[in-house]
Amino acid sequence: MSAPVAEYDRDLFHPEEEPHHAEGSSTMLGFWIYLMSDCLIFAMLFATYGVLGTSYAGGPGPKELFELPLVALNTSMLLLSSITYGFAMLNMTEGKQRGTLVWLGITGLFGAAFLGIELYEFSTLIHEGATPPTSAFLSSFFTLVGTHGLHVTFGIIWLVTLMVQVARKGLITANRRRLMCLSLFWHFLDVIWIGVFTFVYLMGMLR
Amino acid sequence: MSAVSHGYDHPEHGRQDHEHDDEEAHGSRKGYWIGFALSVVLTAIPFWLVMAKPLSSQATALIIMAFAAAQIIVHMIFFLHMNRRAEGGWSMMALLFTIVIVGISLAGSLWVMYHMNANMMPAQNMQDMGGMG
């Protein structure tokens, strides 16, 4: 009696001739496509900065405003957070919940340090009178760098949320999938930052 | 390369078969360190070039652009674990499509707006051009 029922169940839910698709098996591709759309947003902001970045309207230019040592420090924070997230993922693969949480925490601290330095830079600029309405250059600068900063902010919120999830539920399949999505997001932000420090800060100092 | 050998030469890892994609997508400790070391070099040199100014502005600009492109590729390979096989090749297709769109929009915007600026110069500059046409 029980055997036919089991067969019936299998036929209904998992036909043998079809490959078994794990729950959320297409999530990573979907998330990747989301990231590519995010990439297009940044491309538009980079293009806007490229077009407007030399329109100072009599206001200060990059050479008077940017401090490269600060940008270098900022860049190293983000780069360090990328490799610490990598270590969190390796710990996750090895099934080490504690290690994963510790490395996620360190990643979050580096991310927060990056954000703190960026906010310090923004406040310094605004105190110097270099506000977004001053010139098209500053409008596009604050929009581009600010959008990246917002992404990092949401990344940190997401990271803290996942730390709570992992602490409460452990490294279950759903949490692993979420951590992999955030991994893509976090490394992607580092990729965008390469464009920002090269195109905005370094090229700005060369003008 | 390591992902391929992992797939075909290490049957002892079969117990994690269902997490096979996971492992491919996470890279190795060595991979992360290589990516990190390359990134540090590819970041430090452009900053040094701009701060110490050993070369002309134009040469520096070209070099830092090349270094940025190289570092983006390094991040793609060692941190984002991009390869032609991820998600049955669809990740790479989405990436290539995005690169094409990004290239068109960036190059197109800069090109169009540069010519727009050149053709909408103030009147006193236009007189020079009027002589030519």
Model confidence pLDDT, tens digit, residues B66-108: 999 999 999 999 999 988 888 888 999 999 999 999 999 999 9
pTM of the model: 0.83
Nearest CA to B27 out of A56, A179, A86 is that of: A86
Q: Which of B32, B51, B64 sits opposite A198 (nearest CB)?
A: B64
Q: Is the pLDDT of residue A146 over 70?
A: yes
**Which long-range contacts link A152-157 to residues 24+ away (Cβ below 8 Å)?**
A152/A78, A152/A111, A152/A114, A152/A115, A152/A118, A152/A189, A153/A115, A155/A111, A155/A182, A155/A185, A155/A186, A155/A189, A156/A108, A156/A111, A156/A112, A156/A115
Which chain A residues are closer than 8 Å to B113 by Cβ? Answer: 51
In B75-104, the residues whose Cβ lies within 8 Å of chain A are 75-76, 79-80, 87, 90-91, 94-95, 97-98, 101-102
User: Do residues A191 and A115 lie in contact, with contact meaning Cβ atoms separated by under 8 Å?
Assistant: no
Q: Give ipTM to 2 decimals.
A: 0.85
The arithmetic mean of pLDDT across residues B15-36, rounded, is 68
Chain B positions touching A71 (Cβ under 8 A) are 47
Q: Cβ distance A124 to A179 under 8 Å?
A: no
Q: How confident is the model over B114-129, as pLDDT tens digits?
A: 888 888 866 655 555 5
